[in-house]
Amino acid sequence: MEFQQGAYRIQGIDLIELTKEFGTPLYVYDADKIVHQLKTLKTAFADSNVKIKYAAKALTNLSILKLLKKFGSDVDVVSIQEVQLAMRAGFEPSQIMYTPSGVDFSEIVEAVSLGVTINLDNLSVLRKFGEKYKDTYPCSIRLNPHIMAGGNYKISTGHSNSKFGISIYQLPEIREVVATHGIKINGLHIHTGSDITESDVFLKMADILFSVARDFRDLRFIDFGSGFKVSYKEGDIVTNVYDLGLKLTKSFNEFCQSYGRKLELHFEPGKFIVSEAGVLLVRTNVVKSTPDLTFVGVNSGLNHLIRPMMYDAYHDIVNISNPKAEQKTYTVVGYICETDTLGADRKLNEVREGDILLFKNAGAYGFSMSSNYNSRLKPAEVMIYNGKAMLIREREKFDDLLRNQVEVDI
Ligand code: LLP
């Protein structure tokens, strides 16, 4: 997104014009930025046999999935519905990595019947899998490395109190189950969390994964999950993927040599691929001054962007319809009947009722975590691709709220 010729634009398209055409609130995604991020990762790890498995959960719109497929991404999914969406978008089963957590075993059986790669994170499930499939269907194992990492406790998944992964201290049990049933282990996986700034976390994971890998002779890949941090505000430290690329590629290639075979190196980025490509455009309903502060109330809220309330996440906010005005301090809030502060004490160019505000970094975990709370409708989504704005999801209508309700006579 750039400020050019007096307006905020994506690929030359004026965002205010977009709000006139498609209304607000509106999610807008820049396809160029998404492709750029994918290429950045592929370049950073070019000297290893890297495969990028885009974490669909960050933004599941079919057109975004199709875009990523077209530009050479595979996909990481966590539910049977995400498997189905990925297949609908055209991914081959072999490109789909399914990492469920706590799902019913029947869902795993369904995923096997579709032919996707299965990644298991529980000993009892591994045992059931072995009893059912023996050596006929390989699977990968998600390990819990007992590493605390990530920007927030809620999104840290590799520590010892996390529900994710099989503890590395349970390796003897893993070996025993694998040997008993002759399971072919085709991959090892660790995902320690989201918003990881230090390359060291990935290098520590590498040490663990490489030492465990020697016990498993049928491996095809090692998966380092994700957690690459992007910049949410000026001065934010981000993961230096080029530095990580150099260091990890070197140790991965050395490991492959000692293992005796070239394996694939996998990552499953969500935020890194789509966060910065997305903006949420909203309209100011009210400006409300109290003796202490001035609120800006917009036609959106935690129902459309839950990250500020859920993780204390910071999303930069810009008043794009009054860009030259003097700056004042505001607290931007939603229209939900709960405290839904989207940004406190923000310096914005003077906000008037009717102004359009833009939230940055709204591509990842924005729409995909949205809800109908307060019986509000979900926004429309637009992708800007090849200089054209394409509607990729219609704004919900009142009928969508009624669709599955069964109205009984009372
Ligand atoms: N792989 C696995 C197994 C994951 O659980 C996740 C994210 C990813 C990959 C992608 O991680 P990323 O590249 O996006 O950091 N809703 C939170 C983030 C939750 C992440 C859940 N798992 C947020 O908005 O910050």
CATH number of the domain bearing residue 169: 3.20.20.10
For residues 335 and 354, state if they share a domain.
Answer: yes
For residues 292 and 396, state if they share a domain.
Answer: yes
> Does ligand 1 come within 6 angstroms of the Cβ of 58?
yes
* 230 alpha carbon – ligand 1 mean position (Å): 13
**Closest ligand 1 atom to the C-alpha of 307?**
24
Torsion angle in degrees (nearest 10) through CA of 292, 293, 294, 297 = -110
Instruction: Decide: helix, strand or coil at residue 130.
Output: helix
> Does ligand 1 come within 6 angstroms of the Cβ of 142?
no
> Strand 13-14 relative to strand 7-10: parallel, antiparallel, unpaired?
antiparallel
> Does ligand 1 come within 6 angstroms of the Cβ of 307?
yes
For residues 283 and 267, state if they share a domain.
Answer: no
> Does ligand 1 come within 6 angstroms of the Cβ of 76?
yes
Which of 222, 239, 271 is the last residue in one of the domains? 271
Q: What is the total count of domains within the chain?
A: 2
For tokens 């949420």, the residue is: 280
Pocket test for ligand 1, best of 57, 236, 370 (most atoms within 8 A of CB): 57
Angle between helix 199-213 and helix 241-259 axes, rounded to 10 deg:
10
Nearest-CA residue for atom 10 of ligand 1: 270
Residue 337 catalytic?
yes
* 148 alpha carbon – ligand 1 mean position (Å): 15
> Does ligand 1 come within 6 angstroms of the Cβ of 53?
no
Q: What is the CATH number of the domain that holds 302?
A: 2.40.37.10
Looking at residue 232, its pLDDT comes to 92
For residues 56 and 40, state if they share a domain.
Answer: yes
- Whether 295 is in a domain gets the answer yes
For residues 346 and 288, state if they share a domain.
Answer: yes
For residues 222 and 239, state if they share a domain.
Answer: yes
DSSP 298-361: ES--TTT--HHHHH-----EEETTSTTSPEEEEEEE-SSSS--EEEEEEEEE---TT-EEEESS
Pocket test for ligand 1, best of 166, 194, 272, 371 (most atoms within 8 A of CB): 194
| Token duo for residue 370 | 């949205």
- Whether 138 is in a domain gets the answer yes
For residues 50 and 173, state if they share a domain.
Answer: yes
Looking at residue 37, its pLDDT comes to 98
Pocket test for ligand 1, best of 190, 224, 268, 309 (most atoms within 8 A of CB): 268
> Does ligand 1 come within 6 angstroms of the Cβ of 194?
yes
> Strand 341-349 relative to strand 50-55: parallel, antiparallel, unpaired?
unpaired
> Does ligand 1 come within 6 angstroms of the Cβ of 202?
no
For residues 45 and 190, state if they share a domain.
Answer: yes
CA distance 312 to 307: 7
Catalytic option among 106, 234, 337, 405? 337
For residues 10 and 73, state if they share a domain.
Answer: no
For residues 135 and 78, state if they share a domain.
Answer: yes
**Closest ligand 1 atom to the C-alpha of 196?**
15
**Closest ligand 1 atom to the C-alpha of 229?**
15
Q: Say how many C-beta atoms besides its own lie within 10 A of residue 263's C-beta.
A: 20
Strand residue runs (E) in 102-200: 117-120, 139-144, 166-167, 185-189
- Whether 122 is in a domain gets the answer yes
- Whether 379 is in a domain gets the answer yes
What is the residue-level pLDDT of the chain in tens, covering all 410 positions? Answer: 899 999 999 999 999 999 999 999 999 999 999 999 999 999 999 999 999 999 999 999 999 999 999 999 999 999 999 999 999 999 999 999 999 999 999 999 999 999 999 999 999 999 999 999 999 999 999 999 888 777 777 777 888 888 999 999 999 999 999 999 999 999 999 998 888 888 888 999 999 999 999 999 999 999 999 999 999 998 898 989 999 999 999 999 999 999 999 999 999 999 999 999 999 999 999 999 999 999 999 999 999 999 999 999 999 999 999 999 999 999 999 999 999 999 999 999 999 999 999 999 999 999 999 999 999 999 999 999 999 999 999 999 999 999 999 999 99
* 286 alpha carbon – ligand 1 mean position (Å): 34
For residues 65 and 95, state if they share a domain.
Answer: yes
* 207 alpha carbon – ligand 1 mean position (Å): 22
Which of 254, 271, 288 is the last residue in one of the domains? 271
Range of the domain at 392: 2-23+278-362+364-402
Q: What is the largest CA-CA distance in the chain?
A: 72
> Does ligand 1 come within 6 angstroms of the Cβ of 99?
yes
| Token duo for residue 45 | 């790890």
> Does ligand 1 come within 6 angstroms of the Cβ of 271?
yes
* 219 alpha carbon – ligand 1 mean position (Å): 24
Looking at residue 126, its pLDDT comes to 98
Looking at residue 152, its pLDDT comes to 75
For residues 299 and 247, state if they share a domain.
Answer: no
